[in-house]
Structures are given as C-alpha cells and as structure tokens.
Structure 1
Amino acid sequence: MPATSVPLPLRALPADDLLGDLLAVSMTGVIYYTPIYDPAGSGEIVDFRFEYLNPTAQRMMSMPEVPTVTHNEQWPHSIAHGTFAFHVDAYVSGEPREYNINYQADGYDNYYRLAARRSGDGLWVSFTDTADQPRSPVEVALRESQAREKAARAEAEIQRQRFYEVLMQLPAHVAVHEGPEQVFTFVNPGYQRIANGRDLLGQPIRTVWPELAGHGILDILERVYQTGETFSAAGMPVQADFTRTGQLEQVYYDFFFLALRDAQGQVTGVLNFSYDVSSAVRARQQVEQLNQELETRVQERTAALQESESRFRIMADAAPNQVWAVNPDSTIRYANQAFLDFVGVSLEQYVATGWSAYLPAEELELAQATLETAIRTRTLYVLEHRMRRHDGQYRWLLAQGAPSFYANGELYGYVGSAIDITELKQANEQLRRTNVDLDNFIYTASHDLKQPIANIEGLLHAVQHELPPQCRVGEVPHMLELMQAAIERFGRTIGHLTEISRLQQEHNQPASHVLLAQVVHEVELDLAPLVARTGARVEARIPADVTLNFSEKNLRSVVYNLLSNALKYHRPNQVPQVSITYTLLEAYHVLAVQDEGLGLDVAQDREKIFGMFQRLHPHVEGSGVGLYMVKKIVENAGGRIEVESTLNQGATFRVYFPR
C-alpha cells in the first residue's frame, strides 16, 4: 500500500500565551480597563483604571504598559467629547460598542475609531487612529475647513481690534445703545469726557441724560431703533447739564444715528455718532452767520470684509468730517466717503496717487515731514494745511491723527480726521483785522488826546494862578477843584485806553521759561508799601522749581493785578489776609489768589467782573481795567481765569496757565 501523509498534531498552547502573543502582534491599539466607582457608594462609574496597554497602544499614546494615571486624568476632555460615556455604556450594557471621533484636545489631534466590549470585571478597548494611516478625503476636507475657520477667526479678531481702536481714537463722541431701553454698551473717551463722571455702561440713555427728552433727541433715537431708518442733523442746538451743576449749557452738535442689525437683519441697537461744532457755529454767527450749517454727507458702503471691518467702514463713511488712515510708511491705507467726495476721486485712485497731488507744492514738504515725525515718535499728528477740493479750490483743513496698534503691539498705522476750517479762518482773519483797526483807533485817539488834555490842565493851572483872591469866592474854588478832578480822571482814562491798546498789540510776546515763585516774590516787593500801609499778611506757597512757559512781563502784570486787588479790597477795620497757592493739573498750572475781603456777588455781577471800566466797589480807588487786562492776557495765551466769591466773605481767583 502506498504510504500516506499524516499531519502532525498542533501543539496546544495555554490561552494566556495565545492572548499575549495576539496582543503583541496586533496592529491596532488595545487597552484593558477596570472601572473606578464613586467612593460615596452611589454605584456610579466615575473613571477607569489602566490595567494593560499592548505594544501598539504604548507606541501610539507614548505610554507604558501599565500607566499610573486614570482614563480621565489622561484625557480630561473625554467627558465633554463623549468618549467617557461610550466606555461606561459598553461596560454597563455588556454589549459590543463602536465609536468614531475626531479628538482635538489634551495634546491629541487625530481621528479615532474605537471598539469596546466588557470581559468579566474589565473592559477591552481596541482603537486605531489616522496617525498610523493616510487620512480619508473626508477628514482632509474637515481639517482644511477647520484651518480656514481658525484663520478667519484670527483675521476677524484683528479686524475687531482695529475697529475698536479706531472708535477709541476718533475725536468725535461715539456711543452704542442696545435694546428697546437704549442701554449704553459702548462709549469712546470723547463721549466719556462730556459725560463728566456719569455712570454710562449698562444705563439707559433716558436715565443718564433726562434733560435731552425736551429736545426730542431721545424720541429720535427711539424712532431709529423702531424703524431702522438713519437720522442725521447738522448744527443741532442742545441744552444739557454738562457740568453737573444743574445749569443747562447751550451747545451745537452734528448728529448721526444709525440702526445696528444682527445677522438676520433685525435691529438690535443704535450707533450714536456726534461731533461738537459749537465753536464753528458761533464763529459763523459772529461773522454775518457765514455757512450756517456744517453739511453732513453720509453714504453707507458695503464690502466683502468681516463684520467688524464693515461696521468701521459704515461708521467712518457716515462721519461728517473726513476720516483717513495711513500705513506705518505714511502711504494711504484708507479714506472715508466724505474725504473721497472732497477730492473727487475713488479710494483706489487716492491710494495710488497719495496726497501729494492735492496739497500746494510749498506746503507738501512740511505736511509730509510732520506726519513722518509723528509716526516715528508715536506722537499725535496735528497740522493745518491747504488741500485742493474737487472743484479746484484750495480749502484749509485741520488734520489730527493718532497711532493705532495691533493686539501684539505692532504699529497698524495712523488713524485720524480732518475738518474744513476755511470759513472759520476767514472769520478769524476778519475779526483780527477788525481788532487791529480798533486797536489802532484807540491808540491813535488816546495818543492824540494826551496833548489837548495837557493843554487844558496847563490852562486851568494858569487860571488858578492868575485868578485874583477877590474872585475866589462862592462856588469858584469848588468848581476849580471839580475841573481839576475831571481833567485827572480824563487823563487816567486816556492812560488806561493806551495800556489796553498796548496789551492787545503785545499779546503775542515771546514766551520764556519763568520761575513763578520768583515773579510772585518780586511783585510782593513792589507792593511792599501797600502791604505795610494795610498791615496785610501775605502767605505764598509756591514750589521754588515751578516754571511757566509764559511772557515774563505779562505774568508779572497778572500777579500784580490780582495781589493788589486782594490788598485794596479788604473789609474796613480788618487786616487783609491773602494766600497765594499753586496746583499742577494734567493740562494746566493753576495759580490761586485768595483773600477775606469785600468779595463779590458772582451770580449778579458775573458779566461785570472782567468787564472794561467796571468797578463793583467804587469807594476803593481803581481804574476798572485790571481784571479785564488779566483776562485778556491769560486768554491770549490759551488759558482761562475763574472766580469764586461770596459778598463780604472774600474771593478766590484761579488762573489756568497752559502746560
């Protein structure tokens, strides 16, 4: 018989050895867990303990065969992603379970496929991830979409930051009111300043500005919110309590109210953009009411940008003044619609040509150098310059700009605005010429009257000398005295007019660095006879190193007039007490002269206190021009003077010298 082949019997292996060998060669990761129960005894599974990781799992997760951490300690976001619940369900149900997840947390970023099954008191979990195999087209597309979304969010954040910085830098007053109650949700520094310490954020506008209800402004805001229709007004009169003293102040504003909408087009709030044009309006009123209204041109533009950029463009294009932005190298980045309307070109054309084509050649170099210096030093840019309008006429503009930065501190560029001040400059020039003519007239008249007055005084002295004694009877001596007194008063008046004329002509004397304490001390020495005669006590508390950038001659005149008045206008039978103090504010040096003398009724005599030839205590010798001259000197230098006083209780004069 032919031989037959008999297969050899297989060697029987222990089950543990088979399982170990299988797990060792498995190309998928395998984990064996045991549950961890709630120590409070509720029977709830709160975590899983690692009992074993096969070599593939160890390699894929960079973990040892028996990790010391628990499942939730290794993957803290497992609960939020649903993987922990998957493990619990597989263990509790005892049925096989599968789970697919794109896990992007806890240092992992892969697409995982998991299979789990309970075995006795433990749970076997087999898993694969895309790190060990090519990603599917679906996962590739998903990751590309996530990358694009992340980049879009980053760009949106940059645009939002730019939008916020532009709002905070604009010289206008900007606020956002949300909801039917018009609650403040945003205010820029310009708006915060006029609020003068009021709590704004989170407050309805009717609570913050109740006095505006009488002007219809709150009703207009409500109408914009209800209808979504834009509202704009130029030079609108407003009376409000800006000083929070209960006194309403008359001002003029350009207003622009724009409805803000959500993604579904529903109105959610109102953008409040306003600009104080009181100075311009009052200047036009003073010079034959030239150009009664500032024209507001609002043109809404849309572009394929993120929402924050779109809002900025809408706000900038809605502004009545010209808004612009330049790059760190001073090239044009952006100009709003009002600016483009002014020059008469598109944004693309203006960016391509720059501003050199629109500025006079003789002013271009200064304007460019001023802007470049501001960018280099990161300081404010302020300049008055001419610019050619679309009709060929050169108009005067006041341009102001400030640096804007990215979130990382890198310079974004400069953002600013410009307003047409041509009519204002013309008005100021007309006023200047008028003042010059008046000053010349006063000077000439006072000069020409000096000699006739001297002649009359000489003739009167001659009459008195030649008049025989027998004629010096009755009212004659008294009449001669009255004539002499009248001539002296006339002479003093002519002298005051000459002094006032000189003050007007010399108001622009060159400033220098002057030690304030030294000037005050020298004035005290000049007034030493008056101090001795009245027995006054003068206390000056001024730091020795305080320096003012001011005309020394004019500063001496200011201090002299205030101190001499404090000494002269003391109460009868009372020793004058005078205090001279100094305070440094953010924008001013403040000199205060306080006395305990006759005082003033400020409420009744406010208009007379600094008036020419106004004397509120005629029984005291004086000319009535001292405070007038002080006010003119200080205001000509860009400062101001204030007074606090109570009749028969003294007065305090504060002079604010610009820093």
Structure 2
Amino acid sequence: MAADTSSTGAADPLAAVSPAFRLFAEGAALPIWRTDPQARCIYVNPAWLAFRGREAAEELGHGWRDGVHPEDRGAHDDLISAAHTDRTSFTSEYRLRRHDGDFRWMLGQGTPLFEEGTFQGYCGTCFDITDRRRAEEHAAHAAAEKEALLAEVYHRVRNNLQVMVSLIGLYGRAAPQPCRPAFDALGQRVRAIALVQQHLHEAPAIASIDLAEYLQRLGRGLAQLRRAGRIVVEVAAERSALLQPRTANALGMILAEVVAEGLDATPESATCFTSVLIPDAPPGEPVRVRVISGGIGNGAVTVAPPKLGPRLIAAYAGQAEIVASGEATAEAPLELLLPVPA
C-alpha cells in the first residue's frame, strides 16, 4: 500500500480525506486505504480493520506494514516506492496477515490522486486472491506430477522396446538362415515403434501436436534407421494442424510401417523413398495426409508387395478413428483422413 519513507506532516492527516471519499469507502465490502504525498497511510476503511483485527491507530502511518509477510515485504516496498516516485498506478500481489494470524494473498491496486495538478497521495483497494493462488499452485503441482508420470511411462516403454529389440536380435541370429530376414524385419519395426514414441514424447506441447513439425522430425528419425541414404522421407505441408496425442501416435505408426514395407520390398542397394503431403483445404475441412512410397535403385522403381502393412495400417488407423484408403503407391496413394479434434 505504501513505502517506508521518512514522514513529517500535518497533525490531523484525516483532514486530507474528503467526506465523500470516506462515505464511499466506509460502505464498501472491500478493504480500502488512502496515503498522503509522503506515502504515509492516513485512512483505512472498516473492511480493512475487520480483516486485520486491529485499531485504526495501529494501521496508520507505516503500522500496516507489520502485517506484510516478511518474504514479500522487500519486493512490495520496492514496487510501491517506484510507483510513488513516478506517480503511476500499481498492482501488487503479496501476503497480508489476517486477524486470525493466517497470511492471505492479496491483490493490491493503487491509483495516484491529483487536485489541480498537485499530487495528493494514493488511494487503493485490496482483494483476497488466496483461493486463486492456491488453485494455481495446485494446478502447477498437478502439471509437474503429470509431466513426471509421462516421463516415467516413456522411459519404461523405451526400455521395454530396447529389450524386445535385443531379444529379437538374439533369436534372429540363432534362427535358421531362411528365417533371419523375418527377424530383421520384426526388429526394424520395433525400432521404428520406439522412434515414434520418442518423437511423440519430445513434442513441445504434448496436448496439441503440430502435424507438420511432428512428421518432419519423425521422418528425419526414420531416415537414421538404416545406412545413410537408404531411407528418404520428404514431408510437404500446405496447411497447419494440431493433433491430439493418440492421432499423432497412430499417424506415426502408420508412417513407420509404410517405410518398413518399402525396405522389405527393395534390395539393400536401393533407396526407400517416402513422400508425405498435407494438402491444402478450405478452413473447417478435415485434415488429409497423402503418402506415397517406393524403392528407387538402378533407375527402376519397385513397390512393396502387400504383407503385414495393410493390416497393421488399418489397425493403427482404427485406434485413432483415422479413415485410411489406398496402397501408398503412385497410382493409389495412401489417403488418411484425420478425425476432427474434439
């Protein structure tokens, strides 16, 4: 409310408080106060006295400062001193001791008073915002707990997937030669699943994931699954969109499976190329994603024959209510119609 400055002044400070101001303030339910040009408190209304549980004489001058929480006093005094120096309005949140000894969070607001251009001090009000502050603290604590839980779940999923990859590799090396390509393909898919989870976890805002940014990051990650240049994923976005986590997860799994199918169908010397387009559409129209995949090598294009891909893609799409059609070929692109966010 006021800064601690040296004071000298009139014997009757209340003389500066007009009858009209006192009539208004004494009928108000909110604590109201008034200071003089030297930042001394010269008036507090009955609502202030009821909150503090003290006599007016104890609150006037700088007595009211005894109720400010010690941890808040320095910053509060600095803010108010600066406002008095500049003759500007101010807002401050600080803790003030109530009549029962409980410190309550207050929102203090002050406005400079001028009469014929002469600064006369400040008048202001206080609002008890303790419930709001506690709700904010609870929300922040809940958000921190949720973040910690998500991190723990992610690390457990990642560790379990790494164990699966190791087991698949061990069994693959022990399997007869004709069976080893199947184990390699399975291990590759599990690594791709782990990559999808990693990029989903690393999204800047997990509740609303930027579609283009997510697919571009995931595409770069998928390109590292095999030797450099073996996998190329190009993402072109003609519109922006935000996805819910389950939609982003399913879309990532579908893209990973398309890439895996392309690798299955092409020799090691060929490049597996996947093109992802998010076509433009009028505002309000559902978001579509178009995917084309093929292996490029020796000047020829080979397309993966149907294997597990179509069934896995349909399963992933069904989990997130994505409508899927097509085969991810140049002649029949894989068209994905994403659900409208709730």
Q: Spell out, residue by residue over 1:367-402, the C-alpha distance to the aligned partner (whole angstroms, 9 max, x if none).
A: 333211111022332322221111222222121223
Does residue 569 (structure 1) correspond to residue 207 (structure 2)? The answer is no
1:419 match: 127
1:452 match: 160
1:428 match: 136
2:87 match: 378
**Residue 403 of structure 1 contacts residue 412 of structure 1 at CA under 8 Å; is this kept in 2?**
yes
**Residue 30 of structure 2 contacts residue 127 of structure 2 at CA under 8 Å; is this kept in 1?**
yes
81, 101, 105: which one aligns with 1:396? 105
Q: Spell out, residue by residue over 1:4-60, the C-alpha distance to the aligned partner (whole angstroms, 9 max, x if none).
A: xxxxxxxxxxxxxxxxxxxxxxxxxxxxxxxxxxxxxxxxxxxxxxxxxxxxxxxxx
CA distance in 1: counterparts of 2:170 and 2:26, whole angstroms? 80
Does residue 647 (structure 1) correspond to residue 315 (structure 2)? The answer is no
Which runs of structure 2 are paired with 1:30-429 in the superposition (5 Å)? 309-310=19-20, 312-351=21-60, 354-361=63-70, 363-406=72-115, 408-429=116-137
Q: Flag the 1:614–1:340 CA change in 2: closer, same or farther, 3 A.
A: farther
Letter in 2 for 1:569: A
CA distance in 2: counterparts of 1:423 and 1:457, whole angstroms? 51
**Residue 453 of structure 1 contacts residue 491 of structure 1 at CA under 8 Å; is this kept in 2?**
no
**Residue 446 of structure 1 contacts residue 495 of structure 1 at CA under 8 Å; is this kept in 2?**
no
The two structures have a TM-score, normalised by structure 1, of 0.29
**Residue 93 of structure 2 contacts residue 107 of structure 2 at CA under 8 Å; is this kept in 1?**
yes
**Deviation of 1:343 (Å):** 0.9
Secondary structure at the counterpart of residue 355 of structure 1: helix
**Residue 449 of structure 1 contacts residue 494 of structure 1 at CA under 8 Å; is this kept in 2?**
no
RMSD between superposed Cα atoms in Å: 4.4
Letter in 2 for 1:445: V
In structure 2, list runs of 5 or more residues that go unmatched: 1-14, 207-212, 221-234, 257-281, 289-342
**Residue 94 of structure 2 contacts residue 106 of structure 2 at CA under 8 Å; is this kept in 1?**
yes
Q: Flag the 1:315–1:482 CA change in 2: closer, same or farther, 3 A.
A: farther
Q: Which structure has the bigger radius of gyration?
A: 1
CA distance in 1: counterparts of 2:149 and 2:248, whole angstroms? 24
**Deviation of 1:403 (Å):** 2.1
Letter in 1 for 2:284: T
Q: Flag the 1:649–1:463 CA change in 2: closer, same or farther, 3 A.
A: closer
Q: Spell out, residue by residue over 1:188-213, the C-alpha distance to the aligned partner (whole angstroms, 9 max, x if none).
A: xxxxxxxxxxxxxxxxxxxxxxxxxx
Letter in 2 for 1:460: I
**Residue 460 of structure 1 contacts residue 484 of structure 1 at CA under 8 Å; is this kept in 2?**
no
Identical pairs, percent: 23
2:192 match: 488
Letter in 2 for 1:401: G
1:461 match: 169
144, 150, 173: which one aligns with 1:442? 150
Q: Spell out, residue by residue over 1:132-155, the C-alpha distance to the aligned partner (whole angstroms, 9 max, x if none).
A: xxxxxxxxxxxxxxxxxxxxxxxx
Q: Spell out, residue by residue over 1:213-260, the C-alpha distance to the aligned partner (whole angstroms, 9 max, x if none).
A: xxxxxxxxxxxxxxxxxxxxxxxxxxxxxxxxxxxxxxxxxxxxxxxx
**Deviation of 1:424 (Å):** 2.6
Q: Spell out, residue by residue over 1:272-295, the C-alpha distance to the aligned partner (whole angstroms, 9 max, x if none).
A: xxxxxxxxxxxxxxxxxxxxxxxx
In structure 1, list runs of 5 or more residues that go unmatched: 1-303, 505-522, 531-566, 571-596, 601-608, 623-643, 651-659
**Deviation of 1:495 (Å):** 4.7
Letter in 1 for 2:60: V
Equivalent pairs, count: 226
**Deviation of 1:344 (Å):** 1.9
Q: Spell out, residue by residue over 1:121-176, the C-alpha distance to the aligned partner (whole angstroms, 9 max, x if none).
A: xxxxxxxxxxxxxxxxxxxxxxxxxxxxxxxxxxxxxxxxxxxxxxxxxxxxxxxx
Q: Flag the 1:404–1:617 CA change in 2: closer, same or farther, 3 A.
A: farther
CA distance in 1: counterparts of 2:125 and 2:250, whole angstroms? 50
**Deviation of 1:349 (Å):** 4.5
CA distance in 2: counterparts of 1:318 and 1:485, whole angstroms? 73
1:94 match: none
CA distance in 2: counterparts of 1:305 and 1:402, whole angstroms? 16
1:582 match: none
**Deviation of 1:346 (Å):** 4.4
**Residue 172 of structure 2 contacts residue 179 of structure 2 at CA under 8 Å; is this kept in 1?**
no
Q: Flag the 1:615–1:362 CA change in 2: closer, same or farther, 3 A.
A: closer
CA distance in 1: counterparts of 2:243 and 2:27, whole angstroms? 43
Secondary structure at the counterpart of residue 386 of structure 1: strand
Letter in 2 for 1:646: G
Q: Flag the 1:468–1:396 CA change in 2: closer, same or farther, 3 A.
A: same
List structure 1 runs of 4+ shifted beyond 6 angstroms.
Answer: none
Secondary structure at the counterpart of residue 91 of structure 2: strand
Secondary structure at the counterpart of residue 357 of structure 1: helix
Q: Flag the 1:385–1:466 CA change in 2: closer, same or farther, 3 A.
A: same
Secondary structure at the counterpart of residue 96 of structure 2: strand
Q: Spell out, residue by residue over 1:571-616, the C-alpha distance to the aligned partner (whole angstroms, 9 max, x if none).
A: xxxxxxxxxxxxxxxxxxxxxxxxxx3x66xxxxxxxx46444449
**Residue 33 of structure 2 contacts residue 43 of structure 2 at CA under 8 Å; is this kept in 1?**
yes
Secondary structure at the counterpart of residue 95 of structure 2: strand
**Deviation of 1:451 (Å):** 3.1
Q: Flag the 1:337–1:468 CA change in 2: closer, same or farther, 3 A.
A: same
CA distance in 1: counterparts of 2:19 and 2:176, whole angstroms? 97
CA distance in 2: counterparts of 1:617 and 1:459, whole angstroms? 25
2:312 match: none
**Residue 398 of structure 1 contacts residue 420 of structure 1 at CA under 8 Å; is this kept in 2?**
yes
Q: Flag the 1:449–1:305 CA change in 2: closer, same or farther, 3 A.
A: closer
**Residue 405 of structure 1 contacts residue 412 of structure 1 at CA under 8 Å; is this kept in 2?**
yes
The two structures have a TM-score, normalised by structure 2, of 0.52
Secondary structure at the counterpart of residue 121 of structure 2: strand
**Deviation of 1:493 (Å):** 1.3
CA distance in 1: counterparts of 2:109 and 2:249, whole angstroms? 44
**Residue 36 of structure 2 contacts residue 120 of structure 2 at CA under 8 Å; is this kept in 1?**
yes
Q: Flag the 1:375–1:613 CA change in 2: closer, same or farther, 3 A.
A: farther
Q: Flag the 1:378–1:612 CA change in 2: closer, same or farther, 3 A.
A: farther
Which runs of structure 2 are paired with 1:513-532 in the superposition (5 Å)? none
Secondary structure at the counterpart of residue 65 of structure 2: coil
Letter in 2 for 1:451: N
Secondary structure at the counterpart of residue 568 of structure 1: strand
Which runs of structure 2 are paired with 1:17-32 in the superposition (5 Å)? none
**Deviation of 1:453 (Å):** 1.6
CA distance in 1: counterparts of 2:74 and 2:165, whole angstroms? 61
Secondary structure at the counterpart of residue 142 of structure 2: helix
